[in-house]
Structure formats: C-alpha cells, structure tokens
Amino acid sequence: MYEFIDILIEEDVKIVETSGRSPESLMPRLKEHGFTVLHKVANVKNAVSAEKLGVDAIIIVGNETGGHPGMGDVGTLVMLPRAVDSVNIPVIAGGGFSDGRGLISALSLGAEGIVMGTRFMATQEAPIHENVKQWMVSANETDTVVIQRNIGSPSRVALNAVSKEVDKLENEGATIEELIPLITGQRSKKVYFEGNLDGGIWSCGQSVGLIKEILTVNELIKQIVQEAKNSFEFIQSRIESIRT
C-alpha cells in the first residue's frame, strides 16, 4: 500500500478514500502528509473505530449499495442516521442514491453529502461498454442480488446468468474455491469491456432502477442540482401546508 501513497504524494492528491479493511496501518503516513482521509464502512461499529483512528470523515453505505454492503441487510435509511448519531466527524452516505431527491434525503438524515457509483456508470464518459449502460437504463430496482454473503464478503451485483449461478451454488453450500472461477474479476472485464452481459459478475446498486437515461457527467450534475431544488421546495410546500 505504501507505494500507492508515494504516487498520491507525487501527484499532489489531497483526499484519499480507504475501505475494505481498517485504515490503521496507513493513517500515520497519510496524516504526516496532510491527506484528508475518508474511510468507507458498511456498519456503524466500523465507523466508530475509524473515527478513533483519526480519519476525517466517514462514508457509510447501506444494503442498497453496489459492491460491498454489510453482513446484515440494514438499509441506508436506518444505517445513515445511526452513523450520524454515533460519530462526531462528518458522514457521507452511499447506497441507493442516484438523483437530487436522494441527495436531499441524505442531508435530511444528517449526511454532509452522498457518494454515487452505479449512477456514474451510466454516463457517457464512463469507460465501459455501451451494452452495460443500456442494460442499466432498462433494469429495475429488483435486478440486483447480493452474493458471497456465505463466504463473508457480501457483494451486490447485477442479476445475470453468472450471479444467479453463484447464488444457487452458495445456497447449496459451495466453498470459496468453487466460486472463484465464477466471481473472478477477470470475468467481470468481459462485461465491462466486451459488453457480454452474462460474462461475469459486476457491481451494481439498487439505484439502477431509478436510472432513466445516459447523460454526460455535466448534465447529470446539473440535473441533480435541479432535482435537489425541486425536492427542497416540495418539502417546504408540505411544511407550509401544515402551518396554514
């Protein structure tokens, strides 16, 4: 890992996201060089531990997230306020966010911002095959599945022939050795770069069900800002209707 930090210093990067394991061993060097460290977690306990290690902010993801949700199935709607109540550093929310309504909902629960992965995959700039982007536009919110919970590494991926097979094998008690030929990242490349939708497993969050079109990143951000304004005004109108 230290060689990555050397590159970050060389390239004058200011903000680092750590995740997947405790950032403890990296913290002295990261702090020595003045990085802002965001640590991503999938449960409240790890958020509390990371705060103690001196990270600057927490990114917490709920069960809706593509990639790695927690071992349980706690939704972002509950996980996020629990994290906000449990640490004193800023919390950024992930898992289920794809638009400006979601951004305002995260703020309402005490987050300082959101992270989006799935939504940015369906942008014109994303360096993945057009077939994947088109699938994302047509997919709905039930078209993902969490696999690898049985082997302690839960992963939310798009529903396809391979993830269905992995799910089936896991239910039959398959070992990690039996699953590796199916879950290997080598196969995922067939999806991303060759556009073979059943080529392997690939991370995808439930928010895929909310994606309606492939935009440029610029258009997407502008749209999110506009949606956030609309969402805020909707809340305001409902509060005013109570007062009057």
Site string for a copy of itself, 69-88 (x = CB under 8 A): ---xxxxxxxx-xx--x---
User: At closest approach, how far in Å is the CB of 194 from a copy of itself?
Assistant: 29
Looking at 25, 142, 175, 218, which residue binds a copy of itself (CB under 8 A)?
Answer: 142
CB atoms within 10 A of CB 130: 10
Closest by Cα among 79, 45, 38 to 59:
38
Task: Work out whether 109 is an interface residue with a copy of itself (CB under 8 A).
Answer: yes
Task: Work out whether 182 is an interface residue with a copy of itself (CB under 8 A).
Answer: no
Looking at 1, 6, 20, 108, which residue binds a copy of itself (CB under 8 A)?
Answer: 108
Task: Work out whether 62 is an interface residue with a copy of itself (CB under 8 A).
Answer: yes
Interacting residues of 164 by C-beta distance below 8 A, sequence separation 6+: 145
User: At closest approach, how far in Å is the CB of 19 from a copy of itself?
Assistant: 20
Task: Work out whether 96 is an interface residue with a copy of itself (CB under 8 A).
Answer: yes
User: At closest approach, how far in Å is the CB of 230 from a copy of itself?
Assistant: 10
Task: Give kind and range of the element (H or E) at residue 15.
Answer: strand 15-19
CA–CA distances in Å: residue 132 to residues 28, 53, 139: 40, 39, 10
First vs last C-alpha separation in the chain = 59
User: At closest approach, how far in Å is the CB of 122 from a copy of itself?
Assistant: 15
Closest by Cα among 85, 115, 119, 84 to 17:
115
Task: Work out whether 169 is an interface residue with a copy of itself (CB under 8 A).
Answer: no
Backbone torsions φ then ψ of 236, nearest 5 degrees = -55, -45
Give me 156's structure tokens.
């939310």
Interacting residues with a copy of itself (CB under 8 A)? 43-44, 62-64, 72-79, 81-82, 85, 95-97, 99, 101-102, 104-110, 112, 140-142, 146, 206-207, 209-210, 228, 231-232, 234-236, 238-239
